[in-house]
Amino acid sequence: MDTDVLLYVRLISGTLLGLTLGRLLNGVAKFVQQPKSHRINLLHGLWSFFLFASVTLFWWDEAHSFAKVEWTFATYLFQIAYCGSFLFLAAVLLPDNVDEFGDHFSYFIARRHWFYSVLIISFLLGIVDSVVKEGWSESIVSPEGIIFDLIMVCVLGAGMVVNSYRVHLTTAVVMVALTLASALLV
């Protein structure tokens, strides 16, 4: 594999992931900078932490698996889509302002379809990413793994249709717990 291509794909990936982390940190900082208009709430804190941890873990995993991939234009486009999904999630989760909605929770409920649908897409892209970078036999493609993935998609899908604070909070807690558990396995 041409080292220039590897460097270029890493540069684009790193740029998108760096923008994601920057967006997250900037969005969370607004809760400190503007406490009257940006009230801290547990739901946004959990989702922000989840996204930060997910990007950090993905980027770490990239450092170890990047050279294993036979990079083609299709895998390059896939990589951009996957990294871009993180940036889109950060932008939807932490918008520049929520004046139109009153507070962040009302905004989140109004935009939950976008957030959860892109989160489902990102989750599915993560499964494909695992297969692409680790190979079919090394990926978690067992009946239990497939059932787990289907349950996760259903849980995230429920978030799209339900506007209960408890459901969204429970979903965020589960996703944070799973992310932390996967970090321990890395």
pLDDT digits (tens, 9 = 90+) for 42-68: 999 999 999 999 999 999 888 878 777
- Give the residue, 60 or 23, on which the prediction is more confident: 23
- pLDDT, position 23: 96
pTM, full prediction = 0.89
pLDDT digits (tens, 9 = 90+) for 150-170: 888 898 999 999 989 999 999
For the chain, the DSSP string reads --HHHHHHHHHHHHHHHHHHHHHHHHHHHHHHH-TTTS---HHHHHHHHHHHHHHHHHHHHHHHHGGGS---HHHHHHHHHHHHHHHHHHHHHS-S--TTTSSHHHHHHHHHHHHHHHHHHHHHHHHHHHHHHH-TTTS--SHHHHHHHHHHHHHHHHHHH---HHHHHHHHHHHHHHHHHHHHH-
Q: Where are the domains of the chain?
A: 3-185
pLDDT digits (tens, 9 = 90+) for 82-133: 999 999 999 999 998 888 998 888 899 999 999 999 999 999 998 888 888 8
